[in-house]
Structure 1
């Protein structure tokens, strides 16, 4: 499947799911609108970390060869040497951007998992103490 076909499929799927909303106005009382499934979040964070690690090595697989080829072509007077050097530089820049994005996703999800439980405990404690305070008055 080509990239264009995959992209079209992904867009069609997103459009079909556009009716889903996180803030369901008609939710039944006591039914959470948004539930955090820690297993799913953890799996996504893990995959982002794996992609980060793979991009750091595999994304630079041809860097040395491309640099050497660009230098050799330039020394022989070929204009393609400069073009190859520019393409290699752009590639390196894009790989660095992707690596940073994967790290940000992985770290953000890990932080979300660890802080979510703490926030839930704090909210529960605040709610419980406010109810206790209400009954004591």
Structure 2
């Protein structure tokens, strides 16, 4: 492909597709985020959703631990064999296996962090639910007291 042909193809592609950014979103609610049938502004997640993400992170952690250990072991064995036979590739493969171990630790730490954080979030939100329920219960008790005193019972 000649340079001129490449430039022509780029120009045609630019004509077909604007370079502006497009966001997939609901139109802005002119009345704010509350009220109406619009769920906009409300973040909802169920404990089932959190549990599924936490379970997936845990399973990834378990599986990757198993398979990465096997891959590293096989690489180190191959590296040792190549070094014994005098191949420079053995030292390079040994270096790759060590870098693999570093990257594996990073991924395993991240998946453990996700799983642990979701467990913490689940407990924290459960505590928030109890606090909110107690607060609302207290308010209704106060309301009953005011209604009783004003004769609206």
Q: What TM-score does the superposition give when structure 2 sets the normalisation length? A: 0.64
Question: Which digits, 9 at most, give the CA deviation of each residue in 1:18-67, with x for residues without a partner?
Answer: 6699xxx4221798712231111111111111111101101222222211
1:94 aligns with 2:103: yes
* 5+ long unaligned stretches in structure 2: 1-21, 147-153
* 5+ long unaligned stretches in structure 1: 1-14
Counterpart in the other structure of 2:3: none
Match 1:28 to one of 35, 43, 48: 35
1:62 aligns with 2:71: yes
Q: Provide the aligned C-alpha RMSD in A.
A: 3.1
Q: Offset of 1:134 from its aligned partner? A: 7.7
Match 2:135 to one of 112, 126, 132: 126
Counterpart in the other structure of 2:116: 107
The structure with the largest helix share of the pair is: 1
In structure 2, do the counterparts of structure 1 residues 61 and 26 end up closer, same or farther at CA, with 3 Å as the change threshold? same
Name the SS for the 1:78 alignment partner: coil
Name the SS for the 1:82 alignment partner: helix
Equivalences for residues 4-15 of structure 1 within 5 A = none
1:51 aligns with 2:60: yes
Name the SS for the 2:44 alignment partner: coil
The structure with more radius of gyration: 2
Q: Offset of 1:103 from its aligned partner? A: 0.9
